[in-house]
Amino acid sequence: MGTIQYGNGEEIHIEDRALAHLKVVIATKLRRNESFTLSWRHPDGEPAGRSTIWLHPSIPLRFTFEAPEAPQLNPTWIQNLMHSASSTGGISLVDEMLDVPQEA
């Protein structure tokens, strides 16, 4: 389980693979000097519910991963997250959609 440390050091726990994909999208948006929201459902072991934060280039942000190696990224998932980041609702952390070949 990875973490995002945001602002005053509050830790947000997100599974490593999802966090790796989020990092790409968040870094891209912040590099463009764009602000947006990030919403997610609380993981198991935390109180039920969901949260949203406002991401802005001036607010300190740190990504920490449990695994030492970076996973192979899924371009389709990144594209879906980028699309949601540009919407009025901001990024909604959605489950990964795998490209599975269709049987003939």
Structure confidence at residue 99 (pLDDT): 57
Cβ pair 5, 11 in contact under 8 A: yes
* Opening angle at CA 56, ends 93 and 20, nearest 5: 40
Amino acid letter, 31: R
39 burial via Cβ count (<10 Å: 0-12, 13-18, 19+): middle
Structure confidence at residue 85 (pLDDT): 87
- Tell me the CA end-to-end span of the chain in Å, nearest whole number: 38
Give residue for tokens 């952390």.
93
Instruction: Chunk the chain into consecutive blocks of 10 residues (it has 104) and report each block's average pLDDT, rounded to whole numbers.
Output: 88 91 95 92 84 92 93 91 87 70 50
Structure confidence at residue 101 (pLDDT): 47
Structure confidence at residue 98 (pLDDT): 63
Q: Tell me the two tokens of residue 86.
A: 């540009």
Structure confidence at residue 64 (pLDDT): 95
CA-nearest of 61, 63, 70 to 30 is: 61
